[in-house]
Amino acid sequence: MSDTFQRYARVHRLGWSTVGLLLCAALIAVSRGQELVLPSASAAGWTPMAVVTLTSLPAAILAIGSRHSPMSTLEGTATSVLARAEAAHAAGAVTLACGSVAVGALSVGSPPDAAAGARDVILFSGLALISDRLFRRSLPWVVPLAGFVLLQWWGVDDELHRRWWAWPLHRFDDTASWFAALAILGLGLTVAAMSPWRLALLRRRSLRGSSSCQALDGNINKRC
């Protein structure tokens, strides 16, 4: 088991992903809860954004990007055993990313930022999983980055009020943002689970069920 895990970790470069997550935590710790001022389309011309929100984006991309390997195309056609391993990998990587961001925020004594950062990692991880399936495993950053640009430019109105859909900009105790983050992660996991072999299996079962129904209808018509 340990040899198998070591080979899996080596192929997926889990060590480098872990280093990247540690750097994210260090960046949050060094920033000491500072807010960034990013350009936006609002009348003010800027959007305030906490460093922990910004850092949650690369943390999520690193977590989901660690699923990529030189054998990604082959792994995408693998059976249920590897699919379960990849699901466990995704869950563990997202948990580690949430933990790294939270630890970075807690190191400067900011539990609210820790909670908000974990929520944002969950949300961006869901988007990364969707990007993973829409494009390919080496491009988990496309959809999250597009979402981040949308958030940066149009996430606040002219009076710098957060828009309802700008969930990463909301407070850590905003219930709607947590529901949205979990829903997006659930959607991402569902989309990621729709691998080619699973789709082929569902198609085969559907055709088998259709054939059975046609045969049953034929038998009923003969008896009538």
- The Cα 130–Cα 146 span in angstroms is 12
Residue listed under structure tokens 């729709």: 194
Most confident of 62-71, 92-101, 212-221: 92-101
- Find the distance separating the first CA and the last CA of the chain, reported in whole Å: 60
Domain chopping of the chain, boundaries: 2-193, 196-224
- The Cα 178–Cα 130 span in angstroms is 18
Per the CB < 8 A criterion, the answer to whether 189 and 129 are in contact is: yes
Per the CB < 8 A criterion, the answer to whether 144 and 124 are in contact is: yes
Among residues of the chain, what percentage have pLDDT more than 70?
A: 76
The pLDDT value given to residue 138: 82
Confidence of residue 16 (pLDDT cuts 50, 70, 90): confident
The pLDDT value given to residue 99: 95
Per-residue pLDDT tens digits for 17-57: 889 999 999 999 998 878 888 988 888 888 889 999 999 99
Confidence of residue 201 (pLDDT cuts 50, 70, 90): low
Lowest mean pLDDT among 161-170, 176-185, 202-211: 202-211
Which residues partner with 36 through β-bridges?
49
In 19-121, DSSP assigns E strands to 35-39, 46-50
Nearest alpha-carbon partner for 168 in 187, 181, 186? 181
The pLDDT value given to residue 195: 67
Per the CB < 8 A criterion, the answer to whether 36 and 48 are in contact is: yes
- The Cα 40–Cα 154 span in angstroms is 6
Angle at 98 between CA 108 and CA 191, to 5 degrees: 155
The pLDDT value given to residue 52: 93
The pLDDT value given to residue 78: 56
pTM, two decimals, is 0.82
The pLDDT value given to residue 216: 44
Grouping H, G, I as helix, E, B as strand and the rest as coil, residue 36 is strand
